[in-house]
Amino acid sequence: MLGLMMEKPLLVGSLLEHAERFHPEQQVVSRLVSGEVVSHRYKELAQRTRQLANALLALGIGPGDRVATLAWNTHRHLELYYACAGIGAVCHTINPRLHPEQLSYIIEHAEDRLMFFDTDLSALVSKLAGARRGQMCWVALGHEADLNSAMPEGCLAYEPLLSAQGDELQWPQLDERAACSLCYTSGTTGNPKGVLYSHRSTVLHALISALPDSAALSAQSVVMPVVPMFHVNAWGMPYAALLTGAKLVMPGNGLDAPRLYQLLQQERVTLALGVPTIWQSVLNYLDEQQLRFTELREVFIGGAALDKTLLQRFEAIGVTVLQAWGMTELSPIGVVNRPLPDSASLGEAHFQQEKLKQGRGLWGVDLRIVNDDGQTLNWDGASAGHLQVRGHWVAGQYFKQAESACSADGWFVTGDIAHIDPRGFLKLTDRSKDVIKSGGEWISSLELELAAQSHAAVAQAAVIGIPDAKWSERPLLILTLKDGCELDPDSMRMHLQSQVPTWWLPERMEVIEQMPLGATGKVHKQSLRERFG
Ligand code: AMP
């Protein structure tokens, strides 16, 4: 017997409608590329989004069409998210830090019809002007006066495009399975792959990410996604904030520590989200200038592992750190680390260790760990293997790839190596392509990196496997040092010895000037392998 409840599709547009009706005065504050900080209420955002949707329709954009963005976190980018989704089009966010060759590949592969870009990216845009055989229409995110001759021919300006339109629009009823946004993975080998999110997956992900044991959002929250809107939809915050009526603070391209600190303080941000490297630079700035946060209560960290020093530095200034693990293919949230009721009572040492794990599963994502032979491993906190996931917001297939992205029995193979403890806390130990196989056993490059990073002289650490005649592979430790610091290899050896098994200790260590970083700010191990491998 079927239930007799209404069937109402889960649509992204409903989040905006909700925010407009129930939180009309709540604000989205944006730092524009000009440096100006502007504020819009959700009711204005909704009006402007309808104007933008009318403009998109007038430009011939229809259901399924891809509309690209090369843009920072601002209200305009948010309007694009909702206008595209609302008319059934697909907002394709592109990471401007990708290599131009990868950018061209992505634009051609996605068959983007329109491209909205922030004006500080004009130099990059001029290199891409010939994309799609010159058939793509370009729109600069600004006013008529922001256009210049370096921009592609026929380039339009965003604000006049909006003001030419009325704000009346009846949003179409869409299938909740329809695509609403597209994000390519920042694959270090091979071409990037497109992850095509649906309205349903996006709304469910927003609901879950707002829960108390996740980002814990409410209308009282002031949220700043420092993570860019081109990096897995700013981890879903542009959706979760409107769902809950939280205030959104968008830092634009002002991602350096002084400007971030200023905006965090000025807008009284309570929760900020970003990768560890961002927070290291913000904390260094605070120390140098002897500053403190007055409102910031929580930081949500993901994209790379949280290390002990970062956790302790935040705790020392009264800010709670939440680590999360996820990936583009998971919209992105997979697990989040919030304590269990007994976590604190199990002893300080246990609690601290637990906090450094990536987190526990949320409803909607199933997790399993399998070994090389495909056997499922126990959750004993030690048996590491390939992490596989299944769920409502997990990719089943990549864009324009006929084959499934999953195993024969329907699990997505994350490419990460992890173990899970009996309490359900997942601990990531490596990427499967980074794990070092020495004498038939696995050495976790991630654990070695975290251990090396906790040395007082170290700024950043990376570990790669190098060929070895006897053991087949041995770890090589590559470091950058903090300003003015020197490092004695013996002191590093002693430091590591207390934290990892002796047979893991790298025989070789290299100190370099600058760590190569990929487009999402993670260490680019491929370049290190090419240089040292
Ligand atoms: P991306 O799709 O670019 O967001 O990258 C996803 C990958 O980042 C994951 O597969 C992990 O390897 C890594 N990652 C994400 N979150 C964490 C975390 N908390 N700790 C360690 N690695 C992480």
Catalytic residue, chosen from 267, 329, 447, 449, is 329
Residue 7 in domain: no
Q: Is 445 in the pocket of ligand 1 (CB under 6 A)?
A: no
Atom of ligand 1 nearest to the CA of 446: 21
Q: Is 302 in the pocket of ligand 1 (CB under 6 A)?
A: yes
DSSP-assigned states of every residue in 137-190? EEEESS-GGG--TTSPTT-EEHHHHHHTS-S---PPP--TTSEEEEEE---SSS
CA angle 339, 361, 92 (to 5 degrees): 115
**DSSP-derived 3-state class of residue 361:** strand
Measured distance CA(381)–CA(213) in Å, rounded: 21
Residue 390 in domain: no
> To which H or E segment does residue 84 belong?
helix 75-86
Query: Atom 7 of ligand 1 has which residue's CA nearest to it?
Result: 327
Integer angstrom CA distances of residue 393 from 197, 207, 233: 8, 11, 13
CATH code of 477's domain: 3.30.300.30
Residue 207 and residue 243 in contact, taking contact as beta carbons nearer than 8 Å:
yes
Structural domain of residue 448, as residue ranges?
436-532
Out of 325, 446, 517, mutate this one to test ligand 1's pocket (max ligand atoms within 8 Å of CB): namely: 325
Amino acid 509: pLDDT: 93
Residue 139 in domain: yes
Q: Is 154 left (phi over 0), alpha (psi -120 to 50) or beta?
A: left
Integer angstrom CA distances of residue 347 from 135, 350, 352, 353: 63, 5, 9, 10
Bridge-based pairing of strands 365-370 and 385-391 is: antiparallel
**DSSP-derived 3-state class of residue 347:** coil
Q: Is 429 in the pocket of ligand 1 (CB under 6 A)?
A: no
Structurally, the chain folds into a number of domains equal to 2
480: annotated active-site residue: no
Q: Mark 241-265 as b/e (b = at least 16 C-beta within 10 Å).
A: bbbbbbbbbbbbbbbebeebbebbe
Q: Is 388 in the pocket of ligand 1 (CB under 6 A)?
A: no
Measured distance CA(478)–CA(253) in Å, rounded: 30
Sign of CA dihedral 394, 362, 9, 110: negative
Residue 293 in domain: no
Residue 352 in domain: no
Q: Which residue has the tokens 């990892």?
A: 500
320: annotated active-site residue: no
Ligand 1 centroid to Cα of residue 61, in Å, is: 34
Query: Atom 1 of ligand 1 has which residue's CA nearest to it?
Result: 327
482: annotated active-site residue: no
Amino acid 440: pLDDT: 83
Q: Is 110 in the pocket of ligand 1 (CB under 6 A)?
A: no
Ligand 1 centroid to Cα of residue 327, in Å, is: 6
Residue 516 in domain: yes
Domain stop point among 174, 198, 231: 174
Residue 346 in domain: no
Strands (E), 194-327: 194-198, 222-225, 247-250, 271-274, 298-301, 320-326
Residue 302 in domain: no
Integer angstrom CA distances of residue 155 from 21, 51, 122, 141, 274: 35, 19, 11, 11, 33
Atom of ligand 1 nearest to the CA of 520: 3
CATH code of 102's domain: 3.40.50.980
**DSSP-derived 3-state class of residue 108:** helix
- Pick from 353, 427, 418, 428: which is nearest to 384 by CA? 418
Measured distance CA(49)–CA(169) in Å, rounded: 10
pLDDT, one tens digit for every residue, the chain (533 residues): 999 999 999 999 999 999 999 999 999 999 999 999 999 999 999 999 999 999 999 999 999 999 999 999 999 999 999 999 999 999 999 999 988 888 999 999 999 999 999 999 999 999 998 888 878 999 999 999 999 998 999 999 999 999 999 999 999 999 999 999 999 997 666 789 999 999 999 999 999 999 999 999 999 999 999 999 999 999 999 999 999 999 999 999 999 999 999 999 999 999 999 999 899 999 999 999 999 999 999 999 999 999 999 999 999 999 999 999 999 999 999 999 999 999 999 999 999 999 999 999 999 999 999 999 999 999 999 999 999 999 999 999 999 999 999 999 999 999 999 999 999 999 999 988 898 988 888 899 999 999 999 999 999 999 999 999 888 899 999 999 998 999 988 999 999 998 998 999 999 999 999 999 888 778 899 899 999 87
Amino acid 19: pLDDT: 98
Domain stop point among 174, 199, 231: 174
Q: Is 97 in the pocket of ligand 1 (CB under 6 A)?
A: no
Atom of ligand 1 nearest to the CA of 323: 19
Domain stop point among 174, 198, 229: 174
Amino acid 520: pLDDT: 79
